Amino acid sequence: MSGEVAAGAGDDPLVIVANRGPVQHKCADGERTAERGKGGLVTALSGLAGHFDGAVWVCAALSDEDVAVTREHDGAAFDLEGDGPSLRVRMLELDPEAQHKFYAVISNPLLWFIQHYLWDLSDSPNITRHEIDAFDNGYVPVNDQFADAVAEEIEALGGRATVMLQDYHFYLVAERIRARCPDAFLHHFIHIPWPHPDAWKVLPPGMREALFNGVLGNDVVAFHSRFYARNFLLCCQELLGLRVDLDTYTVEVGDRTVATRWHPISVNPDELETAAESPAVAEHVERLGSERREHMVLRVDRADLSKNILRGFRAFDTMLDDHPELAEKVTFLALLQPSREDVAQYVDYLDKTKKLVDEVNGKHRTDGWLPIHLDLDGDFDQVLAAYKLFDVLVVNAVFDGMNLVAKESVLVNERNGVLALSENTGAFEELGKHAVTLHPFDIQQQADALFSALTMDPEQRRERLESCAAIVRENDIAKWLNEQLRDVRRFGEREPKKA
């Protein structure tokens, strides 16, 4: 890690709560493997363990083999093997039907779409018995199960702990833990945008109040951006009638004060740069390099409606219309990872995406030149290779909590590539002034911006890329964690624990 996590957060043990754990078990040919999660967040959160007096990570058993492992431990926590500080893992076997309702009906699409402003409100969502049932018999019991497990861990640890909840799957958990373990310090990081009050009005009042009251069980609620924290407070004020302070960013809940904070998440530069040097990446670089034309436009995304994939292709189409001189000179490599394939909206979206790619390619292709290369493979080595080679990276998200592709790509690129970045991403606050700004609803502006990025003076491109990379190296994931630990110390001290 470029920056080290500076210090612990007191003497309490740590409980991390996330849907996905630090390890996933697989079974092939009768052989069990335990694959450690990749990516900065898992590594960073796992690394936190070394700074606390013991740590346990509570997560869902996601694979069949996870379930087998969980049963072997009778549902209890077990030690995570491997390097690094001692970390125990407690996997929860969820009822499959409840898990589906929790994950594929309520968390996605219902909450995800609300928080990214993705509902087509004139006709969706329709809250019916199906959604009510999914909340009552999916989201609620899964949150209960997590809360119970966390409370058991805290009680086993003597009643005191710092709990770090992750994301939108667990809005009900903090309130329930607090009821059982009043001495725990509860911290919730929400990794997606928090929208304005009106966006929450799609939920029945009872449901939305349950969610808000759940989140308000925390001591600190943290986001990537000040705007999300502000929206959260505006929601508390308008939807719950609570007293908020928009200067100190706090909300009064009974006799407690809940603080909101914002810390932009980041990546682990060393880990990423090391991964980019692997032979597998080099092979991809060679192949992609041999296929490339004069200019390469790249996008790397989960195939999610928030990512604005359709408008990105329309903008590329418009640019080719406006600049016929680019014919046969530019390719748009789109590395999309299919996502949430059990959710109808995602299936439809990927289908629309493929059709649009065919349409644009059909319109512009020539003998031997395919303007858009759509790849749904999602191999991260290929992603790293493409990061090295792009001339312009397109991140045009409709709304995006942070967008780590923007941060990863500028560390790895070797061609003075230009970051073209949506103003509606969390990353824009840090990198926007060195990026080419994209207005995500404006096709013409995106087409013009793409063209200006492709034809930008090389020296200016170099300066922009270096500036972006320097910012990401400075604001790395260790800094993100350190700032949260500082909050834990600060707000934990403000409200002394009972003796």
Q: Which of residues 24-43 bind a second copy (CB under 8 A)?
A: none
Smallest separation, CB 432 to a second copy (Å): 13
Smallest separation, CB 118 to a second copy (Å): 5
Of 442, 467, 483, 497, which lies in the binding site for a second copy, with binding defined by CB under 8 A?
442
Does 424 help bind a second copy (rule: CB under 8 A)?
Answer: yes
Q: Compute the distance between CA of residue 357 and CA of residue 336 in angstroms, rounded to an integer.
A: 12
Question: Quick one: 310 or 456, whose CB is closer to a second copy?
Answer: 310
Q: Is 292 exposed, middle or buried (0-12, 13-18, 19+ CB in 10 A)?
A: middle
Q: Per-residue x/- mask for a second copy, residues 317 to 346, rule CB under 8 A? A: -x----------------------------
Question: Quick one: 200 or 332, whose CB is closer to a second copy?
Answer: 200
Smallest separation, CB 318 to a second copy (Å): 7
Measure Cα distances from 337 to 153, 307, 378 in Å. Answer: 36, 12, 5
Does 242 help bind a second copy (rule: CB under 8 A)?
Answer: no
Instruction: Please count the residues of this chain forming the interface with a second copy, following the rule CB under 8 A.
Output: 45
CB-based contact 114:168 (threshold 8 Å): no
Question: The tokens 């009768």 sit on which residue?
Answer: 30
Here the tokens at position 202 are: 């799609």
Of 38, 352, 490, 494, which lies in the binding site for a second copy, with binding defined by CB under 8 A?
352
CB-based contact 175:213 (threshold 8 Å): yes
Q: Compute the distance between CA of residue 173 and CA of residue 102 in angstroms, rounded to an integer.
A: 13
Question: Quick one: 126 or 366, whose CB is closer to a second copy?
Answer: 126
Smallest separation, CB 220 to a second copy (Å): 23
Angle, CA of 20, 22 and 27, to the nearest 5°: 85
Residue 90, strand partner residues: 58
Residue in 267, 288, 280, 271 with CA at minimum distance from that of residue 388: 288
Of 20, 354, 439, 489, which lies in the binding site for a second copy, with binding defined by CB under 8 A?
439
Q: Compute the distance between CA of residue 16 and CA of residue 1 in angstroms, rounded to an integer.
A: 20
Q: Compute the distance between CA of residue 416 and CA of residue 400 in angstroms, rounded to an integer.
A: 25
Q: Is the peptide bond before 182 cis (omega within 30 degrees of 0)?
A: no
Q: Which of residues 120-179 bind a second copy (CB under 8 A)?
A: 120-123, 125-129, 132
Query: How close are the terminal C-alpha atoms of the chain, in Å?
Result: 37
**H or E element at residue 474:** helix 458-474
Question: Quick one: 266 or 318, whose CB is closer to a second copy?
Answer: 318
Of 209, 238, 273, 375, which lies in the binding site for a second copy, with binding defined by CB under 8 A?
238
Of 34, 68, 76, 202, which lies in the binding site for a second copy, with binding defined by CB under 8 A?
202
Smallest separation, CB 171 to a second copy (Å): 19
Smallest separation, CB 352 to a second copy (Å): 8
Q: Which of residues 277-316 bind a second copy (CB under 8 A)?
A: 305-306, 308, 310-311, 314
Q: Compute the distance between CA of residue 294 and CA of residue 427 in angstroms, rounded to an integer.
A: 28
Q: Compute the distance between CA of residue 446 and CA of residue 423 in angstroms, rounded to an integer.
A: 12
Question: Quick one: 202 or 282, whose CB is closer to a second copy?
Answer: 202
Q: Which stretch binds a second copy (CB under 8 A): 19-27, 34-42, 184-192, 197-205?
A: 197-205
Measure Cα distances from 274 to 84, 85, 269, 382 in Å. Answer: 18, 21, 8, 15
Q: Compute the distance between CA of residue 497 and CA of residue 499 in angstroms, rounded to an integer.
A: 6
Residue 14, strand partner residues: 55, 162
Smallest separation, CB 121 to a second copy (Å): 5
Smallest separation, CB 482 to a second copy (Å): 29
Of 227, 262, 369, 380, which lies in the binding site for a second copy, with binding defined by CB under 8 A?
227
Q: Per-residue x/- mask for a second copy, residues 51 to 90, rule CB under 8 A? A: ----------------------------------------
Q: Compute the distance between CA of residue 422 and CA of residue 436 in angstroms, rounded to an integer.
A: 9
Q: Compute the distance between CA of residue 374 and CA of residue 357 in angstroms, rounded to an integer.
A: 8
Of 97, 136, 155, 198, which lies in the binding site for a second copy, with binding defined by CB under 8 A?
198
Q: Which of residues 176-195 bind a second copy (CB under 8 A)?
A: 195
Does 204 help bind a second copy (rule: CB under 8 A)?
Answer: yes
Of 15, 203, 412, 431, which lies in the binding site for a second copy, with binding defined by CB under 8 A?
203
Smallest separation, CB 478 to a second copy (Å): 31
Q: Compute the distance between CA of residue 366 and CA of residue 368 in angstroms, rounded to an integer.
A: 6
Measure Cα distances from 96 to 20, 21, 114, 256, 343 in Å. Answer: 15, 17, 25, 37, 16
**Is residue 49 left, alpha or beta, with left meaning phi > 0 and alpha meaning psi from -120 to 50?**
alpha
Question: Quick one: 7 or 344, whose CB is closer to a second copy?
Answer: 344
Q: Which of residues 376-415 bind a second copy (CB under 8 A)?
A: 398-399
Binding site for a second copy (CB under 8 A): 117-118, 120-123, 125-129, 132, 195-199, 201-205, 227, 234, 238, 246, 305-306, 308, 310-311, 314, 318, 349, 352, 398-399, 423-424, 439, 441-445
